[in-house]
Amino acid sequence: MNRTRLAIGAVLAPLMLTALMGCEPSKPKEAQPAAPPVAEKVTTAELEAVQKAQKSHKLALVVKTRNNPFFDPMIKAAEAEAKRLGVSLEVQAPPQESDKELQFSIVENLTAKGVDAILIAPADSKGIVPALKRAADKGVLVINLDNRVDPEAAASGGLALGGYVGADNEEGGRLAGQAMMGYLGGFGKVAILEGIRGADNAEARKRGFENAVQGSLEIVAKDTAEWDTQKAYAKFQSMLAAHPDVRGLFCANDKMALGAMKAIEESGRRRQITVIGYDNIPEIRPYLAAGDMKATIEQHPDLMGRYGVLMAVGVLDGVIPRGREFLVPLEIITKP
């Protein structure tokens, strides 16, 4: 693949303080809740140092759904790493990404079975907290993968995660926004198809994209298609009817991009709208090759699966401290 590797870093802009003259005396501000602590990073070398497990731990991997091909490499890599380390790995998932309550029940059932660790990509960043708290109270190690558990909900619910392995989704959205700016020459009308609202990764990707294009591109429409192809098809049909002059579309995952591209083709505007997706699933690669889709963000779910298992075993064996974080690299893919 022709890949442009992009380093991820944070740039802090200086704050400008403006003196306000003639204002009424300000009222005392209410105390704000303390922000959740930032997790310390664990290095690749520390994770790679984890070797054969000291015990035959029982791990469970719970993803949002098996119907999204994004999770296939995560599952395969996790299974391969579990086998290499000498631990068992059970994989479970709801039929659809919107089946949040079923995912909660899966966690409850795994807790009752007495697994040693649950590795989870939550469908609902906040709603999953009570089920995970009950698991942690039973001594189950909880490793968060991909979509972050909401930190404020976890803090208020008394949930201490065993670790996180995933990507910086806001940075991914920012990369998509920067790419859109480049393709459109810094001006034009664009739309956003969002993931499930309230999900940490969906909100972060949207936020990153919006921040990147702010002041240059005009976002004329945005709506949730809940990660679903058919919903994206219907939603973008409506957006095209309302905004026939839209020049670009950011889809927060590639499954939604598939639906949007069907709507574009049926409207007779094939290759006239710049589409940027997220996940680099196999199904979109022909569209990249043909130029129907300009780019997608690769966030390496295989590395999430592999390093998630390494982190779980490392924590269970006492060689990796609890509560650490590992971020996989992001790439923007323009050609298959």
Q: What is the pLDDT of residue 86?
A: 97
Q: What is the pLDDT of residue 38?
A: 62
- Going by pLDDT thresholds of 50, 70 and 90, the confidence category of residue 37 is low
- Residues 27-47 have a mean pLDDT of 65
- Residues 100-122 have a mean pLDDT of 97
pLDDT tens, 253-277?
999 999 999 999 999 999 999 999 9
- Going by pLDDT thresholds of 50, 70 and 90, the confidence category of residue 90 is very high
- Please report where in the chains the tokens 């200086």 appear, as a residue: 14
Contacts of 37 (CB under 8 A, 6+ apart): none
Helices 200-213 and 169-184, axial angle in degrees (round to 10): 40
Rg (CA), the chain: 21
In this predicted structure, the answer to whether residue 321 has a pLDDT above a threshold of 90 is yes
Q: What is the pLDDT of residue 61?
A: 98
Q: Does residue 73 contact residue 103 with C-beta atoms inside 8 Å?
A: no
pTM value is 0.85
Q: Does residue 61 contact residue 75 with C-beta atoms inside 8 Å?
A: yes
In this predicted structure, the answer to whether residue 18 has a pLDDT above a threshold of 60 is no
- Residues 282-292 have a mean pLDDT of 96
- Mean pLDDT over all residues of the chain? 90
- Residues 26-30 have a mean pLDDT of 40
In this predicted structure, the answer to whether residue 125 has a pLDDT above a threshold of 90 is yes
Per-residue burial over 224-235, b if 16 or more Cβ lie within 10 Å, else e, is bbbbbbebbbeb
In angstroms, the CA 211 to CA 225 distance is 21
In this predicted structure, the answer to whether residue 180 has a pLDDT above a threshold of 90 is yes
Task: Supply 288's token pair.
Answer: 């990249």
Q: What is the pLDDT of residue 98?
A: 87
Q: Which of 215, 236, 281, 225 is nearest to 254 (CA)?
A: 281
pLDDT tens, 195-243?
999 889 999 999 999 999 999 999 999 999 999 999 999 999 999 999 9
Q: Which of 97, 277, 91 is nearest to 199 (CA)?
A: 97
Position with higher pLDDT, 9 vs 156:
156
Q: Does residue 162 contact residue 322 with C-beta atoms inside 8 Å?
A: yes
Q: What is the pLDDT of residue 127?
A: 96
Domains of the chain, each with CATH number or no CATH:
44-167+300-329 (3.40.50.2300), 169-298 (3.40.50.2300)
In this predicted structure, the answer to whether residue 5 has a pLDDT above a threshold of 90 is no
